[in-house]
């Protein structure tokens, strides 16, 4: 996969046909938002100001928002779902919870994701890329006299007992990405055996927004998550460093989808075009010090982001792990075999 990033991004251009496709916006837009709260506010505010649309958002974790959309199927309370790992978006599409719309901006996606969008992009577009790794609190590790873990297997060492936190996969897509990554590395049996052993060292499975905050405060020494968040905490002055575990690297894509039955469908389509644009995909790092990687081939990445050209990525099967049946099965298996066994 690392070869993908060696391709010239400047070759991607948008047909003049796409420029002629305009949606006239008026009225309102409600967004379920699963990126950082400040970014949700900025993106929705800027969209509203640009297009004279009264725009509001509701913030929540990926699985929490997915649950709301399922519960509201017969009476949707929002028009758009922005952010969160892409597999639950694909699952929502399979469940008939999303409105079909292929934005012309899909033509600008990075070359390595074109085939995925060709197959799965009727209902969902990829809006950013996240790299999976470890976050470590160097101050806490020094107090404990422990080295930073360098491999997945290191996390099983008894000296890390009670010092690791992970997000709960019932509220966050991060741990689902961890599960999917390990399954693709080792197979399901070995992956779940590993997760059971890791469970012995995990102090808590918490809401996704607390994992990195707790790490920064020294309430944990190690967490597993998307490394852009650790870079942000370090920049704020927290004693946090990133470790990319040895071997192949896991990653995730962030999704964007229009909710089936959207009351403001034209505005939702325009918002999709907006979040896929170069300008909005650069907004996280330019305005907020948030270092996820844009999927628009014309958008620049921050020099503080992990350089994907230097990593050897897992060949992620988004179709398999984006299946509603597979998603439900794996989360239920995690709950039965690991969470409830603790």
Structure tokens at 186: 């080792």
165 - beta bridge partners? 204, 223
CA distance 74 to 6: 46
Structure tokens at 257: 């989808």
CA distance 289 to 307: 16
Against a cut of 0.85, is the pTM above it? Answer: yes
Q: What is the DSSP string of 240-281?
A: EEEE--SSSB-EEEEEEEEETT-TTHHHHHHHHHHHTSHHHH
What pLDDT tens digit does each residue of the chain (342 aa) get? 544 444 433 333 333 333 333 444 469 999 999 999 999 999 999 999 999 999 999 999 898 999 999 999 999 999 999 999 999 999 999 999 999 999 999 999 999 999 999 999 999 999 999 999 999 999 999 999 999 999 999 999 999 999 999 998 888 889 999 999 999 999 999 999 999 999 999 999 988 778 999 999 999 999 999 999 999 999 999 999 999 999 999 999 999 999 999 999 999 999 999 999 999 999 999 999 899 999 999 999 999 999 988 999 999 999 999 999 999 999 999 999 997 665
Total residues found in the chain within this entry: 342
The helix, strand and coil proportions of the chain, stated in percent and rounded to the nearest 5, come to 50, 20, 35
CA distance 47 to 14: 21
Residue 341: its pLDDT value, please?
Answer: 64
Strands (E), the chain: 28-33, 54-59, 80-85, 98-99, 124-137, 164-167, 202-206, 222-226, 240-243, 251-259, 293-294
Contacts with 206 (C-beta within 8 Å, 6 or more apart), sequence order:
165, 166, 167, 168, 214
CA distance 98 to 88: 11
CA distance 84 to 15: 29
Cβ atoms of 35 and 254 within 8 Å: the answer is: yes
């Amino acid at each position: 996969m690392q070869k993908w990033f060696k391709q010239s991004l400047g070759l991607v251009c948008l047909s003049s046909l796409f420029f002629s496709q305009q949606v006239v916006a008026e009225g309102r837009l409600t967004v379920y938002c699963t990126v950082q709260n400040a970014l949700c506010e900025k993106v929705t505010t800027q969209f509203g100001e640009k297009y004279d649309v009264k725009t509001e958002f509701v913030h929540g974790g990926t699985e929490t928002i997915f649950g709301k959309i399922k519960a509201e199927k017969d009476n949707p309370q929002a028009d758009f779902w922005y952010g969160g790992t892409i597999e639950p978006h694909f699952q929502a599409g399979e469940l008939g919870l999303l409105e079909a719309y292929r934005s012309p901006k899909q033509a600008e996606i990075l070359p390595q994701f074109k085939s995925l969008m060709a197959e799965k992009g009727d209902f969902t577009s990829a809006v950013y890329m996240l790299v999976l790794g470890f976050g470590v609190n160097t101050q806490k590790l020094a107090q404990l006299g422990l080295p930073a873990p360098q491999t997945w297997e290191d996390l099983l060492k008894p000296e890390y007992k009670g010092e690791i936190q992970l997000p709960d996969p019932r509220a966050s897509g991060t741990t689902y990405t961890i599960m999917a990554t390990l399954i693709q590395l080792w197979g399901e049996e070995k992956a779940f055996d590993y997760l059971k052993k890791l469970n012995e060292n995990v102090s808590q499975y918490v809401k996704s927004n607390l994992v990195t905050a707790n790490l920064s405060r020294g309430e944990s020494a190690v967490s597993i998550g998307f490394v852009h968040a650790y870079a942000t905490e370090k920049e704020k002055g927290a004693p946090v460093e990133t470790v990319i575990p040895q071997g192949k690297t896991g990653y995730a894509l962030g999704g964007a989808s229009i909710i089936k039955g959207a009351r403001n469908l034209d505005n939702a389509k325009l918002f999709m075009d907006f979040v896929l644009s170069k300008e909005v995909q650069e907004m996280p790092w330019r305005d907020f010090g948030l270092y996820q990687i844009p999927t628009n081939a014309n958008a620049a990445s921050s020099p503080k982001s992990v350089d994907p050209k230097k990593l050897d990525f897992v060949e992620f099967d988004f179709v398999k792990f984006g299946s509603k049946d597979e998603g439900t099965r794996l989360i239920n298996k995690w709950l039965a075999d690991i969470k409830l066994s603790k």
